[in-house]
Amino acid sequence: MNEIITELSKPVWWVSVVVAGILINLLSAYIKSKLDTIAARTFSWWRDKSQASKAAWETRIEGISENDRIRDIELAREIRFRLQSINFLLMAIFLLVLLSFVMASGVFLPKLFQLAVFGSSSILSFASFLALQNAANTANALCIADIKSQSSVKQTVEGAANR
């Protein structure tokens, strides 16, 4: 403890603290401008990507609400995604159950093989999640398009009644 107090009482320590503070301040002013330009580029890229995604979503909704064939195709896609999700999840569970039965029977399996089965099951579970997420996204688009087409039909009927 005495070493710390004697070190703090030396003028060299205080001068080095002041010099370090000034250097950090100058360096931060230089780095701040560089970081601001990098952040501006990154945020503009993110904004452009978000706007493109939103425009694609709106185009998809418009297509579904205006065209019955596109709506039918989207319904089939949703069902396909749900079936894929169920299929992947069942395969993952089957691999785990098969591995547990083989291990319970006393058959020696190398650790690398066990790890490969667990990894495959994990990948299949994740693929199941992604397929279910796609199905939910498609179902959401169908619901929004249905609401939009119903509101446009309602406005058309009200407009005809007001004439």
pLDDT at 162: 59
pLDDT score at 32? 84
Residue 153 is predicted with a pLDDT of 61
Domain boundary among 10, 37, 66: 66
Which of 66, 101, 117 represents a domain boundary (last residue)? 66
Distance (Å, rounded) from C-alpha 74 to C-alpha 139? 8
How much is the pLDDT for 26?
A: 86
Domain end among 66, 100, 120:
66
Shared domain check, 112 and 135: yes
pLDDT at residue 34, as a whole number: 84
Whether residue 148 sits in one domain with residue 75: yes
Distance CA 117, CA 99 (A): 7
83 lies in the same domain as 144: yes
CA distances to 14, 21, 23, 115 from 9, rounded to whole Å, are 8, 18, 22, 60
User: Helices 111-162 & 68-104, crossing angle to 10 degrees?
Assistant: 160
Judgement on whether residues 38 and 76 belong to the same structural domain of the protein: no
- Angstrom distance (rounded) from CA 113 to CA 119: 10
Same domain flag for 118 and 144: yes
Does residue 46 sit in the same domain as residue 124? no
**47 and 76, same domain (yes or no):** no
Segments forming the whole domain that contains residue 59? 1-66
Do both 148 and 80 map to the same domain?
A: yes
What tens-digit pLDDT sequence spans the chain (163 residues)? 788 888 778 888 888 889 999 999 888 888 888 888 888 888 888 888 999 999 999 999 999 999 999 999 999 999 999 999 999 999 999 999 999 999 999 888 899 999 999 999 999 999 999 999 999 999 999 999 999 888 776 666 566 555 5
pTM above 0.75, yes or no: no
Give me the number of domains the chain comprises.
2
Same domain flag for 100 and 114: yes
- Give strand ranges (E) for 85-153: none
In this structure, the answer to whether residues 160 and 88 fall within a common structural domain is yes
